[in-house]
Amino acid sequence: MPAMHFVVCWPDGSKDTCYSPSTAIEKHLEVNHPYTLDEFVTLSTRALDEASERVKAKFGYYCSSAQDQSAVIVQKARQFTAQQQVIVEKITPVPV
């Protein structure tokens, strides 16, 4: 199951490289598409939940890294207002 990195540009211009344990993130987020903060949190959380479920289906346990990443996104999002915009700059496979 190929793990992915996705680079998020926050409303203040800061950037974070985030982790997904599977390609599920590509199904939920589009590169260079402006999302409101609320929309981004909803979609990224949904994608990371799906990725964690894929890990559980394959290995028998949820992915704590996906759950941690989701929590980090939610925490960072609290710094901004709901209608500010977030952009996913790229989604790439994690180098092996």
For residue range 48-80, list pLDDT tens digits in order: 999 999 999 999 999 999 999 999 999 999 999
Give the structural domain span for 25.
4-93
Q: Based on the structure, what is the number of domains in the chain? A: 1
pTM over 0.95: no
Angle at the Cα of 17 (from 16 to 22), degrees rounded to 5? 140
Please name the residues in contact with 32: beta carbons below 8 A apart, sequence gap of 6 or more: 87, 88, 89
